[in-house]
Amino acid sequence: LTFHVQISLEICSVAFASQSLGPIVRAIDPWPPRRRNELLNGRRRACLAKVASLVCVRKGDGIFHEGDFADAIYSVKSGVVTTYVPSANGGRHIVSFLYPGDILGLSEAGRYTNSAKATTGVVAYRFPLAALRGLLSEDADLDSCFIIKLCDELRQAQRHALILAEGRAVSKLAMFLGLQQSLQATRGGTDSEICLPMDRTAIADFVGLSLPAVSRGFAVLTARHIISFPDRRRVKIVDRTGFELLTRVDDRNNHRPAD
């Protein structure tokens, strides 16, 4: 079975499990000991589901575009969404990869601040802003949930910035893998195997490297036996010590083989 088939299966099962319950919002709580993962109780999920419509997007299709009138936000139900900022000469900067339980549709003065497209087949809840704001103004706990989720996205954006600021290509890639791993860990993935639903170009546009640099970086990490690729879209961390050394911020010297 190829990766795609497995993803499709996952979509079905997730969709099935949460169909009657309504949207999930997933985040790590900024504050001490509360719920850690799914933020909404059944009643509130049902309530949100009432004002939401379900949209299905084929792999590669756009969801909204930078500058469009922002009349709704979305919550990913299944699949992977990429948000990005297109640039003049056909290039783009990828802002984030979004997984089930993530929300998207950030706007400024009524216009989306970036574009979104489906990296795999995607099913998402669509919340018209008017209706959502109605709900938010009535239910402080629901607001709380959004605050927590926004804190989560903010932390992730800051972590992304940390990756982009890193000097060495191998460190960038290691940190990227670490990020993907923790994202998948909070969603019940395994610890030592990371799957990469996006292609190399997308990785390059996310970490701020050229496509060849990504390829070479992965080659170096593989040659040093820090990671291995069972398949182009699946990574195993072989040498966790070496790996974590690279994910440490900066150091400027962690590119050389640790002896």
Partner DNA sequence: CGTTTAATTGAGGAAAGTCAAGTGAAGTGG
Partner DNA sequence: CCACTTCACTTGACTTTCCTCAATTAAACG
Please give the residue ranges that form the binding site for a copy of itself (CB under 8 A).
28-33, 70, 85-89, 91, 93, 95, 106-110, 113-114, 129, 133, 136-141, 143-144, 146-147, 150-151, 153-155, 157-158, 160-162, 164-165, 208, 248-253
Residues 180 and 227: beta-carbon distance below 8 Å? no
Cα dihedral 40, 46, 49, 54, rounded to 10, equals: 90
Q: Based on the shown chain and the rule CB under 7 A, indicate whether residue 215 belongs to the binding site for DNA.
A: yes
Nearer of residues 31 and 257 to a copy of itself, judged by Cβ: 31
* Among 41-49, 72-80, 144-152, 211-219, the segment contacting DNA (CB under 7 A): 211-219
User: Of all helices (H) and strands (E), which one includes residue 201?
Assistant: helix 200-207
Contacts with DNA in 151-180 (CB under 7 A)?
Answer: 167-170
Q: What Rg, from alpha-carbon coordinates, does the chain have?
A: 19
Q: Based on the shown chain and the rule CB under 7 A, indicate whether residue 125 belongs to the binding site for DNA.
A: no
CB of 132 to a copy of itself, least distance (A): 10
For tokens 């079905």, the residue is: 12
For tokens 């996310």, the residue is: 206
Q: How far apart are CA 69 and CA 92, in angstroms?
A: 21
* Among 44-52, 105-113, 202-210, 238-246, the segment contacting DNA (CB under 7 A): 202-210
Partner touching 211 among a copy of itself, DNA, none, CB below 5 to 8 Å by kind: DNA
Instruction: Transcribe 155-195 into DSSP letters.
Output: HHHHHHHHHHH--SHHHHHHHHHHHHHHHHHTTT--SSEEE
Residues that bind DNA (CB under 7 A): 2, 4, 167-170, 199-201, 208-219, 229, 232, 252, 255
